[in-house]
Amino acid sequence: MKLSNSMKFIVCTTILGLIFSFGDMTWQEKNSASAEQIMFLLTNKDSGEGTEDIWTIHSDGTNRQPLTNTPDLHKGWPTWSPDGAEIAFATYEGIGTLHLMDADGGNLTVLKKDYTASTRPAWSPDGGKIAYGGTLFIMIFDIRTGKVEAVRVPIHRLSGSRIHDVAWSPDGHRLAFAAKVIDLAGNSQARDVYVMNVDGTDLQQLTQHRAEDDAPAWSPDGQKIAFVSYRNVVEGGIFFMNADGSSIAELTNSGEDYPSWSPDGTQLACTHFGTDVHIGIINVNGGDLKLITKGYYPSWQPSGLVAVNPVGRFVSTWGWVKVGGSTK
């Protein structure tokens, strides 16, 4: 008997309902032991060189673990891939190099030499490309082909200093970044936050202030952008705004930098510069900043939903259900 599209949908949903009803089936975040992990850098004080290694810690401050043990290398900007399975980071020993490794620190490879190591890598949502700041351009590196596309930033009187802190929007269409312009007298102004399409069109300036605005970070739903500003205090703090630049609000003002969103969009991890440098966590609706470890440059691991049988007999990842030749 040939089933109609509606019957196929009923059958599929019935099967799914039976699966959900199994007593030994539970749902959990992908890599549940790591879904609440925050990655960060920690200085190797014993190396005598002030170099760094990459560490992870659970968001509750437990289970701090090193991922790298290469005290001879200066490292920067460790960043999770969108699926949380890989990590990109930079090293700089005379020349910048972009590296890739698995989430457990294995399979370390070189992605690109001559990398601008002073700027963080920004993964495209599909995990196929990495964008980073250049001089007057945003560079887009194709991981599969190794090719680099230079996208000109169409800002009038753009400063020759590097584009800072590129961030790729969750829908894959927009890039946020920080840049300086030069005034008519030839003076370089403070950085502001901008967004534009990936192809360099539809540029919009989101902030305009005499103090520095930097380090934009998209919320997971793409509706808000967190950023760093020095407009209220010399030490700086975390602000956020709507993705169109409206409704700018201060979240912290005691020396915080480099915000990174939690996967559910309810919290931000950041670097706190106080008597020492710490990783802090704060709710986006306000509250006290919780310091969980020494370190800097946090990156909160993305998470996904999988079905897991606790006795190990069945593991499945759920995606789209195909109905009548299309996906729903």
279-313 pLDDT, tens per residue? Answer: 999 999 988 999 999 999 999 999 754 323 333 32
Q: Half-sphere exposure (CA, 13 Å, Cβ side) for 135?
A: 3
Phi, psi of 11 (to 5 degrees): -60, -45
**What's residue 73's pLDDT?**
84
Tell me the backbone φ, ψ of residue 162, rounded to 5 degrees: -70, 150
CATH dotted code for 30-304: 2.120.10.30
Give me the residue spans of the domains in the chain: 1-18+315-328, 30-304
List all residues 6 or more positions away from 326 whose beta carbon is below 8 Å from its beta carbon: none
Q: Residues 6 or more apart from 71 whose CB is under 8 A from it?
A: 44, 46, 47, 49, 51, 53
pLDDT tens digits in sequence order for the chain, 328 residues long: 444 444 444 334 333 343 333 333 333 344 433 448 999 999 987 555 678 999 999 999 999 999 999 888 889 999 999 999 999 999 987 788 999 999 999 999 999 998 876 778 999 999 999 999 988 899 999 999 999 999 999 988 777 778 889 999 999 999 999 998 887 777 778 899 999 999 999 999 999 998 999 999 999 999 999 999 999 877 899 999 999 999 999 999 999 999 999 999 999 999 999 889 999 999 999 889 999 999 999 999 997 543 233 333 222 222 222 223 333 3
pLDDT tens readout for residues 85-114: 999 999 987 788 999 999 999 999 999 998
Element (H, E) at 17: helix 5-21
The model carries a pTM of 0.80
**Residue 97 has which token pair?**
């190099």
pLDDT at residue number 33 = 39
